[in-house]
């Protein structure tokens, strides 16, 4: 039984597929309740609300924002709509958990952060794995000297479409599609999370399709001889791993974006002599970890600026990589959207 004094009242904009997972997380979290679902279509909203046990439904996104009994909104709309609806939600006094990629470009992402700050509401992107206990444990290891001096971060996030879903938002440029925003967002974010700074320069190359990237490979140069590289795309079987390699050893996580089904969340540390130590962690649903964390921020009244900052930094690197691939040039980040 949830304590109504402790619950954050959530609304969701759009009956997106991913909203189903988030509805389960909101029901699971002890500090959240699913108050309202909004769709462009009132019948669809009502049907969704019945299937996913939302308290009520409305037939427009704006109607949800005008509801005084909503504290926070989750925005799983196509990326091209993230900027507009985050700003509208913040102006209506709602905290915003917005799906990735946060925006279409850095200026838009910065405007989202500015309006959220001005209205004293939290902004966070929907990357879930940062909030899982495994991520906290891996970060502790990375911040210790267990691996020696860090040198390389390598990651991949891919899945394979047998039949290309031509109408999927991921293949529509006007909706903000492309594998870099859809999957590369995680690889870039993970590199920034691991190295705890922005790269100095980047280079990217892509396989184009419908004027979006169907796959993407990127390289990012950091200070202190550190390099990160990644690949993402819709044309290779599911891979979702990273490796952080240092002078004394390496940390490998085979499923960082989401633990494999029916496997305990784990990571390994290799010592460079053929010995691997496996660490297993607790296994809560990562969606629930994120909803719990976000709801706790609201309840505490202490906004966490590191989340919009990480989102904007990820966006900045992403847009620099995209520009690099389109112009076939190495891009210095200092020249690319320089002001913070
Ligand atoms: N964090 C994660 O693990 C994760 C996983 C998957 C996706 N995502 C992100 O979540 C977002 C949604 O992805 P999804 O695959 O779940 O999307 P989806 O199923 O295609 O749903 C998008 C929703 O947006 C609404 N919408 C409004 N205008 C639209 C338009 N012009 N075209 C299409 N839909 C429109 C629709 O809701 P109504 O018709 O009800 O208004 C639709 O149900 C994306 O930003 C994606 O990158 C995140």
Q: How far is the CA of 77 from the centre of ligand 1 (A)?
A: 4
Q: Which numbered atom of ligand 1 lies nearest the CA of 257?
A: 3
What is the DSSP annotation of 52-105? HT-SEEESSHHHHHT-TT--EEEE-S-GGGHHHHHHHHHHTT-EEEEPSS--SS
Please answer whether residues 60 and 85 qualify as being in contact, where contact means their C-beta atoms are separated by less than 8 angstroms: no
Chain position carrying tokens 């290799």:
270
Domains, in order of start, for the chain: 8-127 (3.40.50.720), 129-288+317-335 (3.30.360.10)
Going by pLDDT thresholds of 50, 70 and 90, the confidence category of residue 132 is very high
Report the relative pairing of strands 32-38 and 235-246 from DSSP bridges: unpaired
pLDDT for 56 equals 98
What is the separation of C-alpha 325 from the centre of its chain, rounded to a whole number of angstroms? 22
CA 81 to each of CA 97, 118, 288, 317: distance values in angstroms, whole numbers, following the listed order:
14, 20, 25, 20
Nearest CA to ligand 1 atom 23: 16
Provide the β-strand partners of residue 207.
215
**Nearest-CA residue for atom 37 of ligand 1:** 14
- Mind listing the pLDDT tens digit for each residue in 89-116? 999 999 999 999 999 999 999 999 999 9
pLDDT band at 327 (very low <50, low <70, confident <90, very high): very high
Q: Average pLDDT for residues 129-141, to the nearest whole number? A: 98
Residue nearest to atom 48 of ligand 1 (CA): 99
The overall pTM is greater than 0.95: yes
| Ligand 1 atom closest to Cα of residue 15 | 40
Mean pLDDT of 274-296: 97
Query: Residue 92 is encoded by which pair of tokens?
Result: 């209506």
Pocket of ligand 1 (CB under 6 A): 14-18, 39-41, 44, 76-79, 99-100, 126, 128, 169, 175, 182
Q: Cα of 78 to ligand 1 centre, how many Å?
A: 5
């Amino acid at each position: 039984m949830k304590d109504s004094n402790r619950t954050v009242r959530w609304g969701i904009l759009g009956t997106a597929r991913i909203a189903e997972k988030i509805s389960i997380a909101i029901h699971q979290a002890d500090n959240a309740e699913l108050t309202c679902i909004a769709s462009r279509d009132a019948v669809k909203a009502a049907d969704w609300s019945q299937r996913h046990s939302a308290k009520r439904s409305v037939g427009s996104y704006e109607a949800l924002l005008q509801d005084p009994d909503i504290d926070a909104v989750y925005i799983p709309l196509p990326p091209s709509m993230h900027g507009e609806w985050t700003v509208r939600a913040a102006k209506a006094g709602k905290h915003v958990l917005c799906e990735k990629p946060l925006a279409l470009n850095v200026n838009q992402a910065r405007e989202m952060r500015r309006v959220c700050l001005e209205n004293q509401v939290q902004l966070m992107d929907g990357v879930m794995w940062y909030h899982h206990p495994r991520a906290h444990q891996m970060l502790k290891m990375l911040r210790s000297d267990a691996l020696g001096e860090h040198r390389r971060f390598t990651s991949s996030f891919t899945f394979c479409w047998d039949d290309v879903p031509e109408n999927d938002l991921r293949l529509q440029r006007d909706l903000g599609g492309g594998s870099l925003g859809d999957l590369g967002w995680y690889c870039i974010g993970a590199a920034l999370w691991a190295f705890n700074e922005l790269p100095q320069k980047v280079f990217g190359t892509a396989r184009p399709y419908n004027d979006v990237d169907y796959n993407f490979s990127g390289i990012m140069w950091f200070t202190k001889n550190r390099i990160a590289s990644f690949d993402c795309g819709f044309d290779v079987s599911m891979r979702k791993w990273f490796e952080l390699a240092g002078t004394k050893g390496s940390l490998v996580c085979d499923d960082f974006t989401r633990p494999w089904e029916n496997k305990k969340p784990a990571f390994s540390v290799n010592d460079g002599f053929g010995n691997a130590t496996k660490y297993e962690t607790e296994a809560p649903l990562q969606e629930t970890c994120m909803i719990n964390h976000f709801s706790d921020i609201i309840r505490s009244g202490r906004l966490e600026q590191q989340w919009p900052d990480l989102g904007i930094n990820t966006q900045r690197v992403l847009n620099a990589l995209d520009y690099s691939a389109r112009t076939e040039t190495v891009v210095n980040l200092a020249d690319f959207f320089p002001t913070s």
